[in-house]
Structure 1
Amino acid sequence: MNADLVVEAADETVAALEKAAERDWTRRAAGLEWTCRATLDHVALGVVGYAGLLIARPADRYVTLFASLDPQAPIGHCLEGIGIAARLLASAVREAGDDVRAWHPWGHSDGPGFAAMGMVELLVHGLDITRAMELDWRPPEHLCAPAVRRLFPEAPDGEDAAEILLWCTGRAGLPGLGRRDRWQWDGAVR
């Protein structure tokens, strides 16, 4: 998993969300209990948190650094924060050696694993928000495929990586498989 893919996932997601910057972000994100604004904050928190885990390398817990977006800032500025968070994670991935491992509740992971986790947060929650905002956007195939390969070993084979990622994360059904009610990725190094 290339660290540059995290930045590209952020850039793609932010470009889609910028189209809704002036809309009502207090509406609920599609399929979530959170508002679109709270979902955006969750993405920033998660992506920076993954960078922190890679840097601190705890064996048994989350790190105590929590990053959030300024609740008073306009959405356009918050989207800038998403780009910053992704670049922090990409830097941490680049700095981590092949032997670096850090705790995550869904499997101790390495730099490529945390890169994939960040990409899933960006792409899937970006879709949750764009759906709520009624924007026509879909996570790019070339970004979904490596994230699925890295984090979802149980994923079915298929050519539509975006649909497979959405199935893996409980956001869509697949023919013959329906929609998942529960899910989690497997961050363990393989």
Structure 2
Amino acid sequence: MTAISADDLDAAVTCLAEGLRPAAANDWTTVAGTGELDAWHTAEHIGDCLLSYAAQLVSRRPSGFVPFLAALEKDASSADALEFALAGGAILAAVVRAAPPESRAFHPTGTADPAGFAAMGCAEVLVHGEDVARGLGLALDPPREVCARTVSRLFPHVGDVSDLDPWTALLWAMDRAEVPGRPKQTGWRWHGAPPKP
């Protein structure tokens, strides 16, 4: 399987845009998002995570996060919230493309390389995007090869999932779907560090 890349992140962001734009005029503060967050705050979380990952990779910070938060203005619309998430994805993809492959930066799940930050970006965009979509009565339909590479890079510890649809495998790995015969992934955690040779 080829390594995950900025192109995969671009594809995930495109999927998010296509999946959520039909509901961008809705009030996202009144529908569920991730956990206790509404859809508006979940979109804000996506944008903040992606910008944080970009800052980590630019700074090559060896420990701790670059100390900033990216947030939406309080009166931002649902369309603004989506644009914020999409912009965060575009910025992270640009940083991943520009970063030398040997770059490393802190993440609590392991010091990550550009591919690791691209994979984490894909997971944030697709899974939290699906959280928003479900709250709005929609569903994302991401490219399966992107899902497969994301699972392979971040969740090697879940074992062989080649028998599953890759989107189902990603949702299951992040405890958004149940798969008969497989344990729930409560308390899931991904591996940000590059795989050992």
Q: Which band: TM-score by shorter chain?
A: over 0.9
Are 1:141 and 2:164 matched, yes or no? no
CA offset digits 1:91-128 (Å, max 9, x no partner): 11111112110010011100000000011000000100
CA contact (8 A) 1:27 1:132 kept: no
Amino acid at match of 2:153: R
Measured in 2, the distance between the counterparts of 1:51 and 1:121 equals 13
Instruction: Report how many aligned residue pairs link the two structures.
Output: 190
Q: Any conservation in 1 of the 2:16–2:125 contact (CA below 8 Å)?
A: yes
Q: Which residue of the partner structure matches residue 10 of structure 1?
A: 13
Tell me the residue number matched to 2:129.
126
Give, in angstroms, the shift of residue 26 of structure 1: 1.7
| CA offsets 1:5-52 (integer angstroms, 9 cap, x no match) | 112211210221111112231235355111111100000000000000
Aligned counterpart in structure 1 of residue 188 of structure 2, from 171, 183, 190: 183
Question: Runs of 5+ in structure 2 lacking a partner?
Answer: none
TM-score normalized by the length of structure 2: 0.90
* 1:187 partner amino acid: G
Structure 1: give runs of 5+ residues left out of the alignment.
none
Residue in 2 that maps onto 1:23? 26
Q: Offset at 1:153?
A: 0.4
Offset at 1:174? 1.3
Aligned-residue CA RMSD in angstroms?
A: 1.5
Among 103, 108, 129, which residue is 1:105 paired with? 108
- C-alpha distance 189-105 of structure 1, shift in aligned 2 (>3 A): same
The TM-score with structure 1 as length reference comes to: 0.93
CA distance in 2: counterparts of 1:29 and 1:179, whole angstroms: 22
- Aligned partner of 2:64 in structure 1 is 61
Aligned-pair identity (%): 36
Call closer, same or farther: CA 1:189–1:126 in 2, change over 3 Å. same
Counterpart secondary structure, 1:60: coil
